[in-house]
Amino acid sequence: MGRMFINKLNQLYKPKRILYYTEVSEEDIHAFYKGKVPQCIEEYTNAFGTYDYPGVFFIQDLQKEVIGIEYRPNDTRIQYPTQLKSIELDEAFFYSIEIDDDVEINFPFIKNLFSQIAKEDNAHRPYSDLCIKEDAKVISVFHSYKKNRILHEWKLYEDRAVHVVNDNFKNFEKEVLFKSAFTDVITGEYNWNHLEAFLEVPADKNITDYAFAHFDIKQFRVINEAYGHIAANKVLKNVVDAMEKADFVYASARCHNDNFAMLLKDMPQEELTQKLQDFFEQLSVLEEDPFYKVYYKCGVVPMQRAMLSGNRVADVAKVAQSLCTNRKGTEIIFYTDKMHDDISWGNYIKAYVETAIEQDEFLVYL
């Protein structure tokens, strides 16, 4: 077995629930880690009212490992298992990871693994903060297609969500409100609302003219699903760091998802192309897998058209960006007036065709 890859999935909440379980041997547990579920548990997979798939549970109150499945309690619509033992589990937060099922799992291994994770990731979230719960009452393992998903109990030590869901706006200071309005919670970068102010009145920041770029990350969903959201967020943060350090960027923003925008210093197209190529090349390495190359799709609006487009320049940049393909490699496409004319003509044709069909004026010659 090579280097173990840990896919840090997410942090999640489970409410109070009932674990229906069966006592098993050590051989049964090893078989579960390879995908074999005891029949008495497997028959309840995806049953109405279950909170998760069948799993191995390390329960502090039981002082042993069992295999079971979690149910919502006190629901008359649910057909609860009658031949299984049960125990009530309190509501809790969990940190979830995924590893290959050829990694040998046991209780000390899991404790050590999450001890290391806790040193690397403080589980800071937009509206709450978690930390590892050393005396975890529940640790669980779930198997799915050559992977084992492990949930270790963590504890909530700061809850800001309560002020949001209850509309307690008086609990937020002005700086917090400003950041909420104009910054991205994941990367800390300014968002589109902030960048739009530069486009409306660039002179407020002593910017006389500018070119504009809008780009996204090719196959970003693959990174998110294959390597986990923490790895994907790291890619986003690396992009933000690079934009902030770039000497040819006036201002920048993470617009949404994996989409970014930049106000650029004007320069000859060849020079700007090289600057952008170098910029994206330094962002092409995925730290979790050096063999995976990260590529980008970028639409650039030259200075003249950018100035004429004003705060609608992103729409223009997206036109150029839409002409990028999904082939391997970073693509940088500059907007031209011909693109605008072609798109306008295409839209006119499409609109006319629909009207012609409605009015029985559409003829096809063979």
- The CATH architecture assigned to 173-335 reads 2-Layer Sandwich (3.30)
List residues bridging with 261 in a β-sheet.
Answer: 214, 253
**Other CB atoms within 10 Å distance of the CB of residue 327:** 8
Residue 289 half-sphere exposure toward CB, CA atoms < 13 A: 16
Contact yes or no for 231/222 (Cβ under 8 A): no
**How far is residue 237 CA from its own chain's centroid?**
12
User: pTM value?
Assistant: 0.71
Instruction: Please report how many Cα atoms fall inside a 13 Å half-sphere around the Cα of residue 344, on the Cβ side.
Output: 7
DSSP 45-98: TT-TTB-S--EEEEETTTTEEEEEEEE-SS-TT----SSSEEEEE--EEEEEEE
Q: What is the pLDDT of residue 1?
A: 42
One-letter amino acid for residue 247 of the chain: D
- State the pLDDT at residue 9: 82
Q: For the chain, give every residue range classified as CATH 3.20.80.
A: 7-161
Q: HSE on the CB side for 32, CA within 13 Å?
A: 28
Residues of the chain with confidence (pLDDT) below 50:
1
Q: How far apart are the first and last CA of the chain?
A: 63
> If you classify domain 7-161 with CATH, what class do you get?
alpha beta
Those residues whose C-beta lies under 8 Å from the C-beta of residue 28, and which sit 6 or more positions away, are 38, 67
Q: Taking the CA of residue 208 as centre, how many other CA atoms within 13 Å lie in the half-sphere pointing to its CB?
A: 1
d(CA 139, CA 328): 41
- In the chain, list all ranges with CATH 3.30.70.270: 173-335
Indicate the burial class of 121 (C-beta count within 10 angstroms; 0-12, 13-18, 19 or more). middle
